[in-house]
Structures are given as C-alpha cells and as structure tokens.
Structure 1
Amino acid sequence: MCHGGWCFDQLAEQLRRHHHRVLPLTLTGIAERGHLRHLLVNLDTHIQDLTAVLEAENIRDAVLVGHSYGGMVITGAADRAPDRVDSLVYVDAMVPGHGDSCFDLVSDRERQWYLDVVDTGDAVRPLPFFDPRSTPHPLASLLQPLKLTTDLAHIRRRTYVYAAGWETPSPFTTVYQRLRGETGWATHAVDGGHNLMRDAPDALLRILLDLADPELLRDNTSSNIR
C-alpha cells in the first residue's frame, strides 16, 4: 500500500546479480502513478496491472512476490493468468480466498487506518513512518472482494514469509500459524518489521534464491531466520 515498485529496488538489484529477471511493479493510482487515482481504481485494476505485464513481456513460469496488500494482487493474477504463473511468495501479506477483501482480513487497528481518508474520500493516507515518496492508496482496492474462478491448484509452490519483529501485534500472525500446518506451503519467520525488504533484505534474498534453485528447494519447509 502507498508504495511504488521502487521499494523493491535493493532486492531486485541483488536478484539480478544472480541472473534472475525481475520486474518491480507500481500499481495504478499510487506513487509515480498517483496521477491516475482520479480513475476508478480498485482491486481488479491492480490485478490487471500485473496480468498485463505478464502478457506484454510474454512471461511464463513467473514467481510472483507480493508484500502486504500485494498478496491480494498476486492471488488474483494467479487465478486470471494460470498459464503464466508458477509460484507465489507472500511477504508478510494477505492470503485471500474467494470473496475476501483486504478490509476483511486485517485487524481493527488497520481498519481504523484505512478509514483515515484524504479530503476527497477516495484514498487512504500514508502512515507517518512510510517512505517520503509514498502517496495515498485507492480505498476501493481495499474494499473490493476478490473473485476467484479456480482453487489455484495449478500453482506449484507457495511460500509465506512472516515478519516476526512487529512493534505492535501483527495482523498476519494468525495466517502464518495456520499455513505452518498446511500441506503445500513453505513458511519462514524472519526477525524484522513489516517492511522486510528494508528490515531484513539479506534474509528475504536467501529465501527467494533458494526458491528459484530447484536443487535447494524443499517442499513443506518451515524456518526461523535471525
């Protein structure tokens, strides 16, 4: 929320050094694309942002990495472009099912934040500690339920990376604890705050590199990284 693809710059550069192709995405109506917020921007818009890149770049076997709200987007994209997506990585993120909205899946603390809208009433204000480049986030994208047409059984690998260093209770603890016991998920707890790209970039890089290397991958794994 509120951030552009530039929040992945450090991670993207490190992955490219290991010869991976990386395409950080800024969603419509946010950051350098904030001038488009006057359009009707919702969750469907953001899913289309991602599927359009997959199609335009002719990408197959993509590993989609979604942080926080981005979990909504990568789930929807995997449903709509099943022939282009291999794996999903949720970085301290929502893991929605059919009919879930972002608003449904967070705690009361986050809902109070979502309702602190700008004067026009259509976007959520960035929190004070966010990157200074952050901009208001389209409110409709947080309220729109996700529509899924499949059970995502075609996704070969699913990974959840939990930030264990929140200063306040994490809204993602419940989903992390649930996924630890589910078949088909690899889970990792990383000692860092919600923005793991900034707080624990090396740990997150190791997880992604292991995922990309079939010889290092272990299904149904769980780890704690300090």
Structure 2
Amino acid sequence: MTTFVFVAGGWHGGWYFQELASALHQQNHNAFPLTLTGVGDRAHLLAASTNLDTHIEDVINFLKTERLTDVVLCGHSYGGMVITGVADRFPECLSSLVYIDAYVPKDGDSCWSLANETYRQRFIEGASKNGYAVEPRPGADIRTTAHPLASFMQKIRLNHWLDERIRKHYIYLSGWKDTPFTATYEQLLSDPAWSVYALPSRHDIMSDAPDKLFEILLTI
C-alpha cells in the first residue's frame, strides 16, 4: 500500500484529483487530494498575504497532523513549487516526488521567473480587479477560483534542494503549444537522479489522460 498526496496547480482545489484518488483507493492505496489556502473550497481565505510559504505550510501541516510517512507527494503545474518547498523543509516523511507537468525550482526561483510570457501576462491581467487575486481564465472549469498572486511571485528559499534519498519523477505533457516545461523536460532526461515520462496530452491531464497518469503512479 502506497500513500499519495496531491497538490493541484493554480486556480484548482483538491477536487481536481478526486477521481484519481478514488481510483487509487480502489487499488488499496491511500490518496489525499489537498486544497491550498485561498482556492477551491478554501477560497474564502484568500488574502493579499497568501503566498508560496502559506501553501508549503498547508501541506507540511497536513502531513504532520495525519502522521503520514513514506509519502509519494505529487504536484501539478504550480504545485511543483509547493512540493519542492515541502521536500526541502520536511523531507523525512517523503519517499518520492512526482512533478506532473510542473515547475521544478531551484533556490531563488519563483513561478513568475520560471513561467513564460503567456503565463506572466495571465497573472498580470488576472489580478487587475484587486491587485492580489488572479482570476481564472475565461472558459475554465466552473470549479476554478481566483489564485493568490503572491504565491506566483514569491521566490522559493531552499536549503537542500531535493534530498538525494527522495526518488524524483517528472511527467511531461507535450500536447499544448504554450507549455513552459519543455526545457525542464529536456534537462531532466539526461539526469540519472530522475525518472522521466512523456505523454502527448494537454496540460489538463485529468481531462486528457487520467488513465495514463494512473498507470504511471501505480508503477511508482
């Protein structure tokens, strides 16, 4: 039995991975899709001060409260920023990290610095209403909510940058033209510390290729 914890990307809550978690439960695994402060069913907690550190602490507090060990911690998109911070500050409860078409920051990086111009423009325009809450793009899933701008802007501070004892996996989704993750994928392909996968899916993997993601997670 494996314990999976899922951190969704920007604008998304735990609902994004709920069906996947249910499928893993049916295979006798534990699976917990988390909702970060200020999004999803916790949207009422969104404030100008909600930042990347807030989200990292969300996950660490959950792991501590539930007394979880040997966790496979999975992050999609922006969630890669969060799981990296968790691994740096609380590595002892983790066995693996799974970056699902996600940012893999080094010390001093931010989502803003790693994103491409398409996403930077989305951050700026999306926050034009009040200056701190980035609205979801038009046509997005009706369950998406505004996302705290500060979490996209804050630079991550890392002391260890991915403990060697934690296994690391990257799932690259090649089927969308605005991807900012191609360079990361190409770099990690030649890094023996990483297991790398590629799927011809768009970024919204839970709509495009949930079964493929499920299969990869079972091999992990």
SS in 1 for 2:32: coil
Runs of 4+ in 1 over 6 A off after TM superposition: none
What does 1:56-71 align with in structure 2 at a 5 Å threshold?
A: 56-71=65-80
Aligned with residue 192 of structure 2, among 163, 176, 183: 183
The code of the aligned residue for 1:29 comes to G
Aligned with residue 169 of structure 2, among 134, 159, 167: 159
Instruction: Show the counterpart of 1:125.
Output: 135
Instruction: Show the counterpart of 2:46.
Output: 37
Q: List per-residue Cα deviations over 1:119-145 (Å, max 9, x = no partner).
A: 211011101232101111000000000
Aligned with residue 141 of structure 1, among 141, 144, 151: 151
Instruction: Show the counterpart of 1:15.
Output: 24
Is 1:85 the equivalent of 2:84?
Answer: no
Count how many residue pairs are aligned between Structure 1 and Structure 2.
210
Deviation of 1:195 (Å): 1.2
Equivalent-residue separation in structure 2 for 1:155 and 1:148 (angstroms)? 16
What does 1:184-223 align with in structure 2 at a 5 Å threshold?
A: 184-211=193-220
The code of the aligned residue for 1:85 comes to L
SS in 1 for 2:97: strand
Identity over the aligned pairs, expressed in percent? 47
Equivalent-residue separation in structure 2 for 1:59 and 1:136 (angstroms)? 30
SS in 1 for 2:31: coil
Deviation of 1:39 (Å): 5.9
Instruction: Show the counterpart of 2:116.
Output: 107
Equivalent-residue separation in structure 2 for 1:54 and 1:47 (angstroms)? 11
Is 1:169 the equivalent of 2:178?
Answer: yes
Deviation of 1:118 (Å): 4.3
Q: List per-residue Cα deviations over 1:119-175 (Å, max 9, x = no partner).
A: 211011101232101111000000000011113224431100011111x23111110
Mean CA deviation greater in 39-48 or 67-76: 39-48
Preserved contact between residue 37 and residue 45 of structure 2 (Cα < 8 Å): yes
SS in 2 for 1:24: strand
Q: Which runs of 5+ in 1 are unaligned?
A: 212-226
Q: Provide TM-score, normalisation by structure 1.
A: 0.90
Preserved contact between residue 158 and residue 186 of structure 1 (Cα < 8 Å): yes
Instruction: Show the counterpart of 1:222.
Output: none
Is 1:50 the equivalent of 2:79?
Answer: no
Equivalent-residue separation in structure 2 for 1:153 and 1:27 (angstroms)? 24
C-alpha RMSD of the superposition: 1.1
Instruction: Show the counterpart of 2:4.
Output: none
Q: List per-residue Cα deviations over 1:25-60 (Å, max 9, x = no partner).
A: 000001111100136200000000000010000011
Q: List per-residue Cα deviations over 1:161-214 (Å, max 9, x = no partner).
A: 011111x23111110111011111111111211011221001000000000xxx
